[in-house]
Amino acid sequence: MSEYGTLESRVRRKSLLSKVMKAEDTIKFFSPGQDLMWSGFTPAGYPKAVPIALANHVEANNLQGKWKFNLFIGASVGAETEDRWATLDMIDRRWPYQTGSNIAKGINTGRIRMGDKHLGHFAQDISYGFYTGNGRYDIGIIEVSAITEDCGLALTTSCGIVAEAINLCDKIIIEVNTGQPSFEGMHDIHMQQKPPHRAPFLITAADTRIGTPYVPCDPDKIVAIVESKLRDKGRAFTEMDDTSEAIAGHIMEFFAHEIKMGRLPENLLPLQSGVGSIANAVIGGLAKGPFTNLSVYTEVLQDTMLDFFDGGNLTCASSCSLSLSETPGFPKFFDNWDKYFSKITLRPLSISNAPEPIRRLGCIAMNTPVEFDIYAHANSTLVGGTRMINGLGGSGDYLRNGYIKLMHSPSIRPSKTDPLGITCVVPKAPHIDHTEHDLDVLVTEQGLADLRGLCPRDRAKVIIDKCAHPDYKPILTDYFEMAKKETLAKGIGHEPQLFDRAFKMQLNLAQNGTMKIKNWDIKVDLCE
């Protein structure tokens, strides 16, 4: 008996109780090479008991590298599941976004074949049959709060791609989580048709509901019901520091100016914020800021969203995931359930990240890159242009379609040998996820660059002046002036670059542990 009810009380379609079994008893349904779909999104609402049981089985029977699966999940899930699978060499293919040091290592050493994709595209493309030979998947493992009499699934802390997966999987294993309150009623599920029969999403405000609280499921597909009491291992974030506080301050000033100029209403427009410590800090700044009656239309709700509600500035929030930290996030949410529950709407990824409502609502998109260059191309995924971190996520869905498209980053990061060794403002991004066409505003703790209406050469001057760290400002200025002089003289200077020198800072970092170079002469060794 759980304080949140029994399995029998949560499974209201009583015929399914005959399929109840322990997690380890589901091993019989699995075999190497299967295509698996999981619920879950950054890590919230993912299955735990069955993936852990599978990992235990592989480890106990020395099946590492012999039992490998293809994982298709809306975004990242908890480290105790997929990152452990990576350590046991259980993953062959993985789409489209992940977190964990071991899975990242597997990807970057070539052991795991990962494909990256805009999350909004991935959610719809799986239903188009793009990722497997026949467009089908062997098993879906779905975490739910409850199952209704007519086999409607009430999900838990995220929606992810469950609305699509339920129809694409040949077999379904349901984990009913009785170790936390039921989230029944928080979700807004809208089942889509394929083109040319897709209908508009009639979402006109962040709290508009267009569907039902349940994902319909064919009961004949369900082969097992497993009770779970395991909660999400949500990510923890660092507290606000001077850098993130300065970034938040610049953004607050920018919003105030846009209101004054008549380009934003006094309650702004629906806010989108990506994942990570800086994004969390920016929302914390908004929670303490002067703007009231705000709304959020995003893909992930993090801890400071609760502070946002507490301060009275935030009236409602729409998301794909309630991605709170294991502590203090979820305990705070559960202790104040009545305060938060009715203000939150969780939607399928294919709707939370769809261009149509993002453009209609005029979302203000705010996300963090690895780096950006002097012309406003941003890299969100590949360190040095080659090493995968997590994946693109949903940032591009919002940055291509928002009302104001903003990216925030520290101006510098430490290297192993130099506390100021890495500049996040570079001459040329070694990998580009977001082009200059997608971005309006760039922010570091140094300042804010408003790039709207500027040609590339004017953008470069503003970005260097407003965003670069003082140690790198003269180095970047020297490059820009040299590139501008050489390319304009040849009549090719719309966006000046010198490709024999554009990556010299990155080469110096690789060889000497810092991006501080003494000159741009290609005939002089990097160490000079």
Residues catalogued as catalytic: 299
**Spacing of C-alpha 407 from chain mean position:** 14
391 with 71: CB under 8 angstroms?
no
DSSP symbols for 189-248: B-PPPPTTS-------STT---SBSSEE--GGGEEEEEEE-PPP-PPP-PPP-HHHHHHH
Please name every residue paired with 441 in a beta bridge, in sequence order, or none if there are none: 406, 450
Give dist(CA 26, CA 227) in Å, integer.
12
Q: Which of 475, 155, 193, 501 is nearest to 344 (CA)?
A: 155
120 with 74: CB under 8 angstroms?
no
User: Cβ–Cβ contacts within 10 Å for residue 415, how many?
Assistant: 16
Q: What's at 189, amino acid-wise?
A: I
Cα separations (Å) of 493 from 408, 458, 480, 488? 28, 12, 11, 4
For β-strands 371-373 and 425-426, DSSP reports them as: parallel
For residue 428, give the 3-state DSSP assignment: coil
382: tokens are 């590949």
Q: What are the φ and ψ backbone dihedral angles of 354, each rounded to 5 degrees?
A: -75, 140
Q: What's at 364, amino acid-wise?
A: I
Bond before 355 cis per omega within 30 degrees: no
DSSP symbols for 300-360: EE-HHHHHHHHTT-EEEEEESEE---TTTHHHHHHHTHHHHGGGEEE--HHHHT-HHHHHH
443 with 408: CB under 8 angstroms?
yes
